[in-house]
């Protein structure tokens, strides 16, 4: 006998994947991965035995068609997925170990595996094993799923010693077992927050401040001028320019407060200006840089590979027609001060 319910769920998954695939290529890697997001939503609906969650698929398609702005569209994907995911979890009468594990794997797939360009199966398999252990130790609860997703979010696996993060969370799961039923609502809220931001999960994990305070430079007069240690240069300021955009190259490992140079009379330090690529997943754990206060960088990728470049804006003196920049000669020879642009 053919199980009609199984055929129905398989057909729903195939149709959802095909419908999203037919949308074609879009602006971001998350848009191009939308068929896989839809497939995960169908899997979540099956885990929660809730056909109502399947409504998330046409909603995802509607968001892709309706919102031309990248940030609005990606956040709408996140809201739809988070509501569907949490709704499926709450619909379950008993959160058995297989179901809890399935939810944790589905959430991990959304946070870590969607739109990835570089993928290490061995590292991800090691992390996935620890995630399943967290679910098992936390008594198959919403708290266990939330802790598992926290481990998925904050463990870059580069270098391998960062696997100590999920091991530490495993210990937390063990210690909080008696509280698992009391923290169900808070755990569900935490899951919803992480999944709402799954298109920006890499930025959420490494530079969350950007999601709230980041202000990418828009009206730019590009320079792309590289200055080496000991160099001095005078630049003409374009009319109506208010800021200059600076960053470093090969400066991710410099100690904070190291003198970089001078912008007019203002002394520049590491921390005020940072390495352009410091927030890449491969560089983050080794970098001493952190997101600067006046970040002007752009989002360079999405999903867990997502990162923001380290461009920083510095205000120009009112009415200035020229500015002088010099680079401290004591900097390492390979370090470069990048004068990227003026901003109007």
CA 123 centroid distance within chain: 19
Name beta bridge partners: 295: 312
Q: What gap in Å lies between CA 94 and CA 99, rounded to an integer?
A: 9
- What is the pTM assigned to this prediction? 0.88
Which residue would you say has higher pLDDT here, 178 or 253?
A: 253
Residue 25 has pLDDT above 90, yes or no: no
Among residues 112, 105, 78, 102, the alpha carbon closest in space to that of 193 is found at 78
pLDDT at 145: 94
Mean pLDDT computed over every residue of the chain? 89
Q: How confident is the model at residue 268 (pLDDT cuts 50, 70, 90)?
A: very high
Q: What gap in Å lies between CA 213 and CA 293, rounded to an integer?
A: 8
pLDDT at 116: 87
pLDDT at 117: 81
Residue 222 has pLDDT above 60, yes or no: yes
pLDDT at 1: 42
Q: What is the DSSP letter of 94?
A: S
The predicted-structure confidence for 229-246, as pLDDT tens digits, reads as follows 999 999 999 988 999 999
Q: Where in the chain is the domain with CATH 2.60.120?
A: 214-343
pLDDT at 138: 87
CA distances to 65, 175, 213 from 183, rounded to whole Å, are 38, 13, 30
pLDDT at 2: 44
Strands 220-227 and 243-249: unpaired
Tell me the fold of 214-343.
Jelly Rolls (2.60.120)
The predicted-structure confidence for 111-162, as pLDDT tens digits, reads as follows 999 988 888 899 999 999 999 999 999 877 889 999 999 999 999 999 899 9
ω into residue 289 within 30 of 0, thus cis? no
Which residue would you say has higher pLDDT here, 12 or 88?
A: 88
Q: What is the mean pLDDT of residues 25-38?
A: 83
Sequential DSSP letters for 225-247: EEE-TT-EEEEEPPTT--EEEEE
């Amino acid at each position: 006998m053919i199980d009609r319910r199984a055929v129905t769920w398989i057909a729903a998954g195939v149709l959802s994947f095909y419908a999203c695939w037919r949308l074609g290529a879009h602006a971001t890697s998350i848009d191009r991965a939308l068929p896989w997001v839809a497939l995960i939503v169908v899997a979540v609906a099956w885990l929660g035995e809730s056909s109502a969650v399947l409504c998330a698929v046409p909603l995802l398609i509607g968001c892709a068609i309706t919102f031309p702005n990248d940030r609005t569209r990606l956040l709408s994907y996140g809201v739809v997925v988070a509501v569907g995911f949490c709704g499926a979890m709450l619909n379950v009468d008993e959160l058995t170990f297989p179901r809890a594990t399935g939810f944790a794997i589905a959430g991990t797939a959304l946070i870590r595996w969607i739109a990835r360009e570089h993928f290490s199966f061995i590292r991800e398999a090691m992390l996935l094993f620890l995630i399943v252990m967290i679910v098992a130790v936390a008594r198959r609860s919403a708290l266990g799923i939330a802790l598992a997703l926290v481990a998925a979010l904050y463990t870059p696996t580069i270098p391998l010693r960062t696997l100590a993060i999920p091991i530490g969370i495993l210990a937390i799961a063990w210690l909080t077992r008696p509280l698992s039923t009391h923290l169900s609502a808070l755990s569900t809220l935490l899951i919803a927050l992480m999944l709402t931001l799954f298109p920006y999960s890499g930025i959420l994990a490494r530079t969350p401040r950007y999601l709230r305070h980041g202000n990418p430079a828009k009206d730019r007069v590009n320079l792309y001028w590289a200055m080496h240690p000991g160099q001095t240069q005078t630049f003409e300021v374009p009319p109506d320019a208010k800021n200059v955009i600076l960053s470093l190259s090969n400066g991710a490992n410099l100690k904070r407060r190291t003198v970089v140079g001078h912008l007019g009379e203002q002394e520049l330090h590491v921390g005020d200006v940072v390495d352009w690529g410091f927030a890449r997943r491969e560089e983050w754990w080794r970098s001493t840089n952190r997101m600067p206060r006046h970040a002007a960088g752009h989002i360079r990728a999405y999903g867990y590979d997502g990162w923001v470049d380290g461009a920083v804006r510095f205000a120009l003196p009112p009415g200035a027609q020229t500015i002088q920049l010099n680079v401290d000669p004591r900097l390492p020879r390979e370090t470069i001060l990048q004068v990227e642009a003026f901003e109007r």
